[in-house]
Amino acid sequence: MGWLRNAMIGAVVVVAAGASMVATRPPVAEATATDASRTDVRVAVVGDSLSAGRSRFLGNGLDDESWMTYANGDGIEFAGGWARSGATPDEMAAAVQPVRNVDVLVVLAGTNAVRVGRTVAQEEQAYRTIARVVGAREVIVSALPPYDWKAAEALRYNRELQRFATNSGWTWVDPWVFARSGNGWAAGVSVDGTHPAGPEQYQRLGESFRRIILEDVRTRAPFRVGR
């Protein structure tokens, strides 16, 4: 895309929220970028099962239940990151490592905080640590999806997270519009009340994130990728 050559681009780290725990902590996934003249947006992902894919750990690579699979390519490049099923924001902050040549950080995290009864106030430092360690120029913080098991608590967490993200100078987004019906899931989008139902729904989530990332790039133009 020609406009990308003159666009100011920030790489994306996404933190996603899921529910089931995995005990192991394999190495952080990282893709490398060596071309100083690159024009793609470098996107790094940090999170839990909503970003971890079928294997429940992002370090095993992208698959058909990784939303990043569908956002990647044609102007967006996956930069690496960390996501593990069941992780809370403070666990992500303890595990995440710097990602090279990152332009934008996208954070999708908090469903597991809701699950274990933690608040945004208790997790604020974790979000700050994730942003600081990854080192992206731009930070995008995502709304949580519906969470049927603690619906009211998830709504409250979303409101508090939006306020915290905005006050921190980060960009707040909601990629889940397609998935919502009132305060719950739209019909057919989720089976377990926590996650998208399968590859088709993760594709819609990835396409939603892709639009958000590229729109963020356009509104922040001009800037040079990787600078």
Share of the chain above pLDDT 90, in %: 76
* Length of the chain as a residue count: 227
In angstroms and rounded to an integer, the radius of gyration of the C-alpha atoms of the chain is: 16
Break the chain into its structural domains and give their ranges.
Answer: 2-219
Backbone phi, then psi, for 44, in 5-degree steps?
-110, 150
Distance of CA 68 to the CA centre of its chain: 9
d(CA 49, CA 87): 8
Q: How far apart are the first and last CA of the chain?
A: 19
Mean pLDDT of 2-16: 40
Task: Say yes or no to pLDDT of 147 above 60.
Answer: yes
pLDDT in tens, 43-86: 998 999 999 999 999 999 999 999 999 999 999 999 999 999 99
Mean pLDDT of 173-180: 97
Domain 2-219: CATH superfamily, name plus number = SGNH hydrolase (3.40.50.1110)
pTM comes to 0.82
Q: Are 53 and 62 in contact (CB under 8 A)?
A: yes
Task: Say yes or no to pLDDT of 211 above 70.
Answer: yes
78's enclosing H/E stretch is strand 76-83
Task: Say yes or no to pLDDT of 212 above 90.
Answer: yes
Token pair, residue 149, equals: 């098991």
Backbone phi, then psi, for 41, in 5-degree steps?
-75, 125
Task: Say yes or no to pLDDT of 28 above 60.
Answer: no
Residue 29's pLDDT is 54
